[in-house]
């Protein structure tokens, strides 16, 4: 898969956790926990180049300057499965503001339908991380990032855990400058829009539906 905006994070701890996530015997409780841990590890990678600024501080010994993150961060989970990644991001970025985008996939057309949107403002001031565990057809991610851009979002990253080649292509065609971060690029999509080998329906496995 050759897409300039694609970043596959191959860290051994990430690959190890992804295997547990994929296994069908992993129950809802473990699935939620592992998905959160995996997201936290991914966040470590995707923040690698975030800008820093100097802050004047005082240690117990003397005055000095030290570095802090220079940008405000907004996290935007795409409902519903994206919510499963929320805590995983907040573990490392506890001051991030959280917006929500509600998009569901019409089971027949496989097209995204918007039903909810609430985003922090002014969005242009934030580094934005849009999260959804599965980049399948790419329709939902594509529409979600489009909504963020319409509201003024400029610096956007898309974070998922498993991506299909078809989804990467569809997303990148519309948002070539938005980097995609994933732990895996799987083989294919089936006619129902599921990723193979994948991990099944992430929302159902998270929430036990
Ligand atoms: N959404 C999921 O949860 N799983 C897939 O395989 C595809 C889309």
Residue spans of alpha helices (H) in the chain: 12-22, 28-46, 86-90, 139-150, 165-174, 202-207
Percent of the chain with pLDDT over 90: 91
**Is the CB of 202 within 6 Å of ligand 1?**
yes
Two structure tokens written together for 146: 């489009």
Give the C-alpha separation, 112 to 171, whole Å.
13
- Domain assignment of residue 32, yes or no: yes
Which pLDDT score, from 0 to 100, does residue 204 have?
Answer: 94
- Domain assignment of residue 174, yes or no: yes
- Choice from 142, 198, 199, 205 to test ligand 1 binding pocket (greatest atom count within 8 A of CB): 198
Q: What is the per-residue pLDDT across 111-156, written as a single tens digit (0 to 9) for each?
A: 788 999 999 999 999 999 999 999 999 999 999 999 999 999 999 9
**Is the CB of 81 within 6 Å of ligand 1?**
yes
Question: What is the rounded average pLDDT of the residues 54-60?
Answer: 98
- Domain assignment of residue 45, yes or no: yes
Q: How many domains is the chain built from?
A: 1
- Domain assignment of residue 40, yes or no: yes
Which pLDDT score, from 0 to 100, does residue 112 have?
Answer: 83
Q: Is the pLDDT of residue 1 over 70?
A: no
Q: Which of 139, 146, 135 is nearest to 6 (CA)?
A: 135
- Domain assignment of residue 53, yes or no: yes
Strand-pair category, 52-58 with 72-79: unpaired
Q: Which domain holds residue 30?
A: 6-207
Which pLDDT score, from 0 to 100, does residue 127 have?
Answer: 98
- Domain assignment of residue 120, yes or no: yes
Which pLDDT score, from 0 to 100, does residue 209 have?
Answer: 87
Query: pLDDT confidence of 198, banded at 50, 70, 90?
Result: very high
Q: Is the pLDDT of residue 28 over 90?
A: yes
- pTM to 2 decimal places: 0.94
Q: Is the pLDDT of residue 2 over 70?
A: no
- Domain assignment of residue 1, yes or no: no
Cα–Cα distances (Å) from 42 to 152, 158, 162, 201, in that order, read: 25, 11, 12, 20
CATH of the domain at 195: 3.40.50.2020
């Amino acid at each position: 898969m050759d897409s300039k905006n694609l970043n596959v994070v191959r860290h051994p701890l990430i690959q190890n956790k992804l295997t547990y996530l994929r296994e069908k015997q992993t129950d809802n409780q473990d699935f939620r926990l592992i998905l959160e841990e995996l997201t936290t590890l991914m966040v470590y990678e995707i923040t690698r180049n975030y800008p820093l600024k100097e802050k004047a501080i005082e240690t117990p010994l003397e005055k000095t300057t030290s570095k802090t993150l220079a940008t405000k961060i907004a996290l935007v989970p795409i409902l519903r499965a994206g919510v499963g990644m929320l805590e995983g991001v907040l573990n490392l970025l506890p001051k991030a503001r959280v917006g929500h985008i509600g998009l569901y996939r019409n089971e027949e057309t496989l097209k995204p339908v918007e039903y909810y949107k609430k985003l922090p403002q002014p969005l242009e001031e934030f580094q934005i991380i849009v999260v959804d565990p599965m980049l399948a057809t790419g329709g939902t991610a594509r529409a979600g990032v489009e909504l963020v851009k319409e509201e003024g979002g400029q610096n956007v990253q898309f974070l998922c855990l498993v991506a299909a080649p078809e989804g990467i292509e569809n997303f990148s065609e519309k948002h070539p400058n938005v980097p995609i971060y994933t732990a895996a690029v799987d083989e294919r999509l089936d006619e129902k829009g599921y990723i193979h080998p994948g991990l099944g329906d992430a929302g159902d496995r998270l929430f036990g539906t």
